[in-house]
Amino acid sequence: MQDGFFFQAIIYLLAAVICVPIAKKLGLSSILGYLFAGIIIGPYVLGLIGQEGQDIMHFAEFGVTMMLFLIGLELDPQKFWRMRRVIVGMGMLQLLLTAGTLFIVCSIVLRWDWQTTVAISLALTLSSTAIVMQTLKEKGLTKTSMGRSSFAVLLFQDIAVIPILAILPLLADGHVNNANANHSLISDLPGWAQTPIVFGTIGLVYLGGRYLIIPLLHIVAKTRLQELFTASALLLVMGVSYMMQLVGLSPALGAFIAGLVLANSEFRHELEGDIAPFKGLLLGLFFIGVGASINFNIILADPAFIIIFSTIFNGIKFFVLLIVGKMYKKSADQNLLFAFALSQAGEFGFVILGFAVQLNLLPEVLSNQMMAVIAISMVGTPFLLLINEKWIDPFFGVKEKHSKNKYDSIDEKNDVIIAGFGNFGSTIGRLLKANGIPATVLDMDSDRVDSLRKMGFKVYYGDALRLELLKAAGCEDAKIFIAAIDNPRVNLQVVEMIKKHFPHLKIFARARNRNDAFELVDIGVNDFYRENLYSAVHLGVDALVEMGQRRYTATRQGQRFLKYDEEATRSLAEKRHDKKAFLTTTLQQIELQEQLIKNDLYSQLGAQDHAWESADIKKEQQEEF
Amino acid sequence: MQNKILILFAHPLFEKSNANDALVQSIPESANITFHDLYQEYPDFDIDVKREQELLVLHDIVIWHHPMYWYSCPPLLKQWIDLVLEHGWAYGREGFALKGKLLLQAITTGGKKENYCATGSNNFTILQLLEPFCQTAKVCNMTYLPPFVVHGTHSMDADGYQKYGNLYEQVLLFLEHKTLNFEDLDKHSYFNDYIQTKIG
């Protein structure tokens, strides 16, 4: 099946590469692009892939786990702890109200067995973490009030899946197909033993993160092998997920806790940069899977039921969310957005329905219909948000631009980014800090990062050549980028990357010597600072003083020399491209020095202070006598 | 007729000065007015003499705009005067580069006007204290105008700052567009008083 694998991979990638840019071009969210890509290559349109959409989704659900890991990373544990009441309060309220209303309405209108109704109500109550969080991220809403509320509700749902899956077997009346579906290592143990084990595991994740993972990452970081670090990051997420599954907890929850534990470590940005591409790809695959799994035969068999049911259940969820938001005193536009965003059913619905079928709680046909309903509601969300944005939201005046809420600074964004915190960069950092300007610092040396962090600097470990890391460090929002990396070659590459990807950033670059400065001028950076020039001139000034010059005169000579040398470097940078190519670099160097010394002689560095000299005036007076 | 005005501004702690903030904010946007912030241009006191002389040549009216420190100007403006007004260029047998240009001094003082007189705590009037600047202008063949003075900045409120800002704007607009009547001008000790008679 090797050909098969390549063929399939190409189909998925091609569909994504074509559909997502089109969606973006039309101003839609990338999620819609993926979903439509799935529908198009799915069994009912082009038929390029078969019924495996569901399997793909189960595999790609791992993307959701990674997303929660990343969310955990971005969250300060203390801030998370402060959110606990909102998570439990809002989450519980949403879950109970939605499930209750759905149960009552379905019982009255559709007259299924009550067990069936319970299973379906619960399945539809849970929203889609993947769709909501991805959409919020794309729209930059994660740090608004509705973003935090959405996150709180989704996290509670994530936790709630576990008891829901535990309750369902109690509803089954004995005709169980395969009760092992939710089997975990400890499910045979009595209840009093299970609880401590579960909490023990969470404790283990915390302690393991602190005292095992971080030291391990230090060792890995020292090898300076980028791919090894990526492998460790993946191992970490997968390991935690697996451990959680073993004790019957949601892997996403485990990943979230792991993320939270590592949020304050110096590896945060690096881990973010490493996991983000995998998360992106898997989520894309997940959305394609959702699109491909929509069973159009079932929809077409009874379109009226599907459409009416979808509309009503979406409506119920929407209004319940509005009420919950109102109880938590959201402003009108935030509340609307919150209600629209969470009004769909999600990936957990598939899991619960699949489990319920195994328990004989509902017939296969009904389950398939419900799965179609879930898929349709997921596809519908981006459209609903678009409608809200275009036609509904404009009627509700007050916009929450940047709320002054205490959760706001989940991620610190500084105006200044310093790459490289060696002798050079740290001096800059200290000067800025002493003047109350905080800077985000990126450095490659994990030992140094550690010790500087102990002294209270915000230093992050990472390779500044990685675009993902630059983004994670906040290059998109910063104003100034200071390139102060020890290795001149790397420093130059970083500057080139910044120029290319973040042209709005003002760059100040360290240059080791004149040649580095030339290279910087070539790529259009005029604010270069030769690390040896200023201290050499300073030494020269002191030597002049030692030789008997007045300190003020010598200092002015030094000032003038600096100005002149900076100008000379700029003009030589342009001229050096005219030289004949056969000159070797050493020869060029010697020639350059000769030219500089020759120019020094002609520049009459000292002849400018003659206003303080009286020779001129004395001469005029003598001539008058 | 349009006059070209060069404002040479010298304040070592501009960011903390309310009075000068109001004055500088009120400078009209005009192609004829050049605002030249000396402490911003020459933080290390290394004045580019050639550049400064070229600027002077391009303008008709020069304004020394600064706070009064110990009955004189901040040190960078003094450095500027020392270095830029060269013998043989600004004064001396062959120095006529500034001939015929007008020089206005725009100053702020923390103390009130009544302190600046023979019986006040400062013993001298502003005009007496500014005599060295006046004399410098004369040696450089320039016409020294009565100064524009903002007194009492230590005890001034926001409205006061704004009032003087507006007045400074009027002064600059007048200098840019109108011709001065020197006979009239001589009757006033401050340019403030002269401009009041012009704008009513």
Distance between CA atoms of residues A15 and A37, nearest Å: 5
Distance between CA atoms of residues A136 and A139, nearest Å: 5
Q: Which of A560, A609, A620 sits opposite B92 (nearest CB)?
A: A620
Residue A404 located in a structural domain? no
**Residue A122 shares a structural domain with residue A24:** yes
Give the pTM. 0.54
The conformational region for residue B71 under phi > 0 = left, psi -120 to 50 = alpha, else beta, is left
Domain range holding A254?
A: 2-395
Q: How far is A617 from chain B (nearest CA, A)?
A: 7
pLDDT at B23: 95
Q: Mean pLDDT over residues A458-463, rounded?
A: 73
Average of per-residue pLDDT values in chain A: 79
What are the tokens at A309? 């049911």
pLDDT band at B8 (very low <50, low <70, confident <90, very high): very high
C-alpha distances in Å from residue A363, one per residue of A116, A345, A359, A366: 9, 20, 10, 5
Put simply, whether A512 touches B (Cβ < 8 Å) is no
CATH code, domain with A427: 3.40.50.720
Indicate if the pLDDT at residue A549 is higher than 50. yes
**Residue A465 shares a structural domain with residue A587:** yes
pLDDT at A33: 86
User: Which residues does A305 contact at the CB level (< 8 Å), separation at least 6?
Assistant: A369
Put simply, whether A556 touches B (Cβ < 8 Å) is yes
Residue A584 located in a structural domain? yes
- Higher pLDDT, residue A311 or A273: A311
Helix or strand or coil: residue A200? helix
Q: Residue A415: which of A469, A464, A460, A473 has the closest Cα?
A: A473
pLDDT band at A192 (very low <50, low <70, confident <90, very high): low
**Residue A341 shares a structural domain with residue A439:** no
pLDDT at A479: 93
**Residue A359 shares a structural domain with residue A453:** no
Residues above pLDDT 90, as percent of chain B: 80
What are the tokens at A81? 């702890």
Partner-chain contact B46 A609, CB within 8 Å: no
Q: Mean pLDDT over residues A566-573, rounded?
A: 79
pLDDT at A378: 84
pLDDT at A257: 83
- For residue A610, the chain B residues in CB contact (below 8 A) are 86
pLDDT tens, A594-623? Answer: 666 666 655 555 555 667 777 777 777 777
pLDDT band at A583 (very low <50, low <70, confident <90, very high): very low
Q: Which of B46, B84, B93 sits opposite A559 (nearest CB)?
A: B46
Put simply, whether B15 touches A (Cβ < 8 Å) is no
**Residue A243 shares a structural domain with residue A121:** yes
Residue A63 located in a structural domain? yes
> CA geometry: angle at A52 spanning A51 and A53, to 5°?
90
Distance between CA atoms of residues A185 and B23, nearest Å: 78
- For residue A619, the chain B residues in CB contact (below 8 A) are none
Q: Are A243 and A185 in contact (CB under 8 A)?
A: no
ipTM of the shown complex:
0.75
**Residue A28 shares a structural domain with residue A55:** yes
**Residue A383 shares a structural domain with residue A413:** no
Partner-chain contact A611 B46, CB within 8 Å: no
Residue A615 located in a structural domain? no
Residue A603 located in a structural domain? yes
> CA geometry: angle at A530 spanning A529 and A535, to 5°?
110
Partner-chain contact A559 B85, CB within 8 Å: no
Most distant CA atoms of chain B, gap in Å: 49
pLDDT at A399: 41
pLDDT at A398: 43
Q: Which of A559, A608, A617 sits opposite B87 (nearest CB)?
A: A617
CATH code, domain with A11: 1.20.1530.20
**Residue A298 shares a structural domain with residue A322:** yes
Indicate if the pLDDT at residue A403 is higher than 60. no
User: Which residues does A213 contact at the CB level (< 8 Å), separation at least 6?
Assistant: A236, A258, A261, A262
- Domain end residue (candidates: A395, A419, A440): A395
pLDDT tens, A33-78? Answer: 888 888 888 887 887 776 666 677 777 777 778 888 887 887 777 7
Distance between CA atoms of residues A234 and A277, nearest Å: 11
What are the tokens at B100? 């015929």
User: Which residues does B100 contact at the CB level (< 8 Å), separation at least 6?
Assistant: B141, B142, B143
pLDDT band at A401 (very low <50, low <70, confident <90, very high): very low
Partner-chain contact A612 B82, CB within 8 Å: yes
B93 to chain A: closest CA residue: A620
Burial status of residue A234 (CB atoms within 10 A of its CB: 0-12, 13-18, 19 or more): middle
Residue A256 located in a structural domain? yes
**Residue A487 shares a structural domain with residue A520:** yes
- Domain end residue (candidates: A364, A395, A426): A395
Domains held by chain A: number: 2
**Residue A431 shares a structural domain with residue A530:** yes
Helices and strands, number each (H, E), in chain A: 28, 6
To probe the interface with A, which of B42, B44, B46 has the most A CB atoms within 10 Å?
B46
pLDDT at A591: 66
Distance between CA atoms of residues A106 and A67, nearest Å: 33
Q: Are B14 and B43 in contact (CB under 8 A)?
A: no
Put simply, whether B28 touches A (Cβ < 8 Å) is no
- Higher pLDDT, residue A601 or A82: A82
Residues 79 through 118 of chain B touching chain A, CB cutoff 8 Å: 82-88, 92-93
User: Which residues does A140 contact at the CB level (< 8 Å), separation at least 6?
Assistant: none
Residue A618 located in a structural domain? no
pLDDT at A115: 84
How large is the C-alpha radius of gyration of chain A?
32
Distance between CA atoms of residues A246 and A231, nearest Å: 22
pLDDT at A1: 41
User: Which residues does A177 contact at the CB level (< 8 Å), separation at least 6?
Assistant: A357, A358, A359, A360
**Residue A16 shares a structural domain with residue A136:** yes
Partner-chain contact B87 A608, CB within 8 Å: no
Partner-chain contact B87 A556, CB within 8 Å: no
Residue A415 located in a structural domain? yes
Eight-class DSSP state of A411: S
pLDDT tens, A502-513? Answer: 999 999 999 988
C-alpha distances in Å from residue A472, one per residue of A461, B21, B192: 12, 39, 57
Q: How far is B142 from chain A (nearest CA, A)?
A: 19
Q: Residue A381: which of A61, A138, A42, A100 has the closest Cα?
A: A138
Q: Are A278 and A230 in contact (CB under 8 A)?
A: no
Residues 434 through 473 of chain A touching chain B, CB cutoff 8 Å: none
Indicate if the pLDDT at residue A406 is higher than 80. no
Q: Mean pLDDT over residues B105-114, rounded?
A: 93
Q: Residue A293: which of A83, A604, A54, A592 has the closest Cα?
A: A54
pLDDT at A164: 82
Q: Residue A523: which of A507, A538, A504, A539 has the closest Cα?
A: A507
Distance between CA atoms of residues A166 and B54, nearest Å: 86
Indicate if the pLDDT at residue A581 is higher than 70. no
pLDDT tens, A263-285? Answer: 877 788 788 888 888 888 888 88
pLDDT at A597: 65
B85 to chain A: closest CA residue: A611
- Domain end residue (candidates: A368, A395, A422): A395
pLDDT at A532: 86
Partner-chain contact A620 B82, CB within 8 Å: no
Domains located in chain B, CATH noted: 5-199 (3.40.50.360)
pLDDT at A81: 81
What are the tokens at A484? 């102060």
Indicate if the pLDDT at residue B162 is higher than 50. yes
Distance between CA atoms of residues A593 and A567, nearest Å: 15
**Residue A106 shares a structural domain with residue A232:** yes
Distance between CA atoms of residues A258 and A203, nearest Å: 11
